[in-house]
Amino acid sequence: MRLQRHFLVPLLLSLLVPPLRAQDAQKIISQYVKASGGSKALSQLSSVVLEGTVVAAGESPSGTFTLDTRRPNRYYFELIWGNTRRIEAYNGKSVWRELEPGHPSTLQGPDAADVEATAQILNTRLLDLKSNKLTVTWVANATVADRAADQLEVVTVSGVKREMFFDSQTHLLLKESAPPGGGERECVYSGYRPEAGIQFAHRLEFHICPAIYRVEITRVTLNGTVPEHIFDFPRNSQARLPDLKALFAELDKNQKAIDQIKENYAGSRVEEETEYTGDGSVKRHETSEYSFFYFHGDEVSTLVKKDGKPLSDAEQKKEEERVRKRIEQIQARAAKRETKGEKAREEGKDEKDDDDVDIEIFLRACQFINPRRERFRGQDVLVFDFEGNPEFKPRKLVEKVVQKLAGVIWIDEKALDVARLEAYFVSDAKIAGGLLVNLQHGTGFVFEQAYVNNEVWLPTYEEAHVGARLLLVKGVRATAVTRYSDYKRFQVESISKIAPPKPM
């Protein structure tokens, strides 16, 4: 009987107390907002500056700590103690970090996404989760510093995850960290005191592997003036910006030569597409594997596997027919462009298609700031941030879309090509007035290339995080990742027969 009670009681309790769901996580966030000072007070915070002293665990010398945030997404973190230096910032376009004096560098990939997520969470104060594209779910009951806590997972639109622990009694934030295996840093919050009616932790403990730093906040400034240059890449490390019009003209002019070189290469790529439900759980996940080559500047891909399984004979035949039609379309378009180009040249006009997204459109629709020279994949590159030019008056749809972008771009001046591009929509981009597609703000993408055989930059990685509404009805949240590999030189003996690439 004792054994039966031992197993039955937890079972009955689990039936009587169902696990917390998304709405319960929303309730915990609402309690946190109320305990912190209320949604009205938090929503009026345009900027916050925290200053204090820092000591490493077990050490006596002190250092300095500064944390600046400014809406909508600006972030500056500075921790200096002895020879330890950690400065990182996000200016709404690019992320940079400085671990040695005078040697800042632009971050990429997961490191950059992690800082961007921190900037978003700090500035939104976890208000209006839906419009800020934040998904929260309850994870477990937990204990932080001997206090009972509710552990929630917060996921940003770019897929970055945060584990956040809220005091079960006070409802204030006790700890924030990356999920297991997702990062090296966490922060423990304590010593809450009100500042202008808003609760702020005045003791912070940063675990930055392998060290622990304890911070005492000595000054809190709310809604003060925080200049934009605080968040920008340090000026003393910036390079002189070349003539952009001349540089971009050379990039555009060089594209035809690049397209010709690319036609000497074939490769493989793998696409992973994941669609999510409203609460952030996976709705659909598909993996597709392709072989491809370039033809008239376009990529011609042939599906070879779906979710790890080779195509059936019928599927393969259907795919070959699709590829054949694709080649015919490219040939027809190339012929049309040639005819159009000849006519345009005769009339002294631009021969580009209205819908072409070329680098020249970025020059017209965007403004470029914070130039610097860095190394990327072993090559010297020019890096600068870009954002929409408010004085530009777009006339075409593609110009309207590009003007809504902000991000950072890496350019190889010698090879005259883009090595990497990161961008996101700072506001909704509506296609057909939103009747067809409404790409929601925060939707972003990454495009990266590698310098192959010391002659041409070829794609290696693409990533897109999409939040959209289709036909005013269906909301879509999805992630797509494409990885390119196995580049080989080849010759196409007969395009009409879709001959497979032959290695040289």
Phi, psi of 3 (to 5 degrees): -65, -40
Do 271 and 336 lie in a common domain?
Answer: yes
Do 349 and 299 lie in a common domain?
Answer: yes
Lowest mean pLDDT among 128-137, 159-168, 269-278, 344-353: 344-353
Task: Decide if pLDDT at 441 tops 90.
Answer: no
More reliable by pLDDT, 278 or 351: 278
Do 355 and 436 lie in a common domain?
Answer: yes
Do 296 and 231 lie in a common domain?
Answer: no
In a domain, 1, yes or no: no
Domain finish residue from 202, 235, 268: 235
Domain finish residue from 183, 212, 235: 235
Q: What is the reported pLDDT for 237?
A: 62
C-alpha separations of 38 from 124, 164, 193, 224, 339 in Å: 13, 19, 15, 20, 65
Asked whether 45 and 29 are in contact (CB, 8 A), the reply is no
Do 24 and 168 lie in a common domain?
Answer: yes
Q: Report the helix count and the strand count for the chain, using DSSP H and E.
A: 8, 27
More reliable by pLDDT, 97 or 398: 97
Strand partners, 464: 445, 480
Q: What is the CATH number of the domain that holds 190?
A: 2.50.20.10
Across the chain, mean pLDDT equals 84
Domain finish residue from 210, 235, 260: 235
Total domain count, the chain: 2
In a domain, 10, yes or no: no
Do 438 and 301 lie in a common domain?
Answer: yes
| 121-169: pLDDT as tens digits | 999 999 999 888 899 999 999 999 999 999 999 998 888 999 999 999 9
Most confident of 60-74, 164-178, 236-250, 275-289: 164-178
C-alpha separations of 199 from 33, 202, 214 in Å: 10, 9, 19
Task: Decide if pLDDT at 501 tops 70.
Answer: no
Mean pLDDT score, 331-335: 88
Do 331 and 456 lie in a common domain?
Answer: yes
Mean pLDDT score, 413-437: 80
Do 213 and 317 lie in a common domain?
Answer: no
Do 198 and 258 lie in a common domain?
Answer: no
Task: Decide if pLDDT at 295 tops 60.
Answer: yes
| 42-69: pLDDT as tens digits | 999 999 999 999 887 666 567 899 999 9
Four-CA torsion 358, 363, 368, 374, nearest 10 degrees: 40
Q: How far apart are CA 403 and CA 427, in angstroms?
A: 10
pLDDT class for 499, splitting at 50, 70, 90?
Answer: very low
Tell me which H or E stretch contains 229. none
Q: How far apart are CA 435 and CA 138, in angstroms?
A: 35
Do 310 and 347 lie in a common domain?
Answer: yes
Do 221 and 274 lie in a common domain?
Answer: no
In a domain, 88, yes or no: yes
Mean pLDDT score, 432-445: 74
Asked whether 421 and 395 are in contact (CB, 8 A), the reply is no
Do 112 and 183 lie in a common domain?
Answer: yes
H/E/C letters for each residue in 164-211?
Answer: EEEECCCCCEEEEECCCCCCCEEEEEEEEEEECCEEEEEEEEEEECCE
More reliable by pLDDT, 331 or 277: 331
Task: Decide if pLDDT at 496 tops 90.
Answer: no
Q: How far apart are CA 37 and CA 34, in angstroms?
A: 5
Strand partners, 319: none
Which residues form the domain of 146? 16-235
Q: How far apart are CA 65 and CA 49, in angstroms?
A: 11
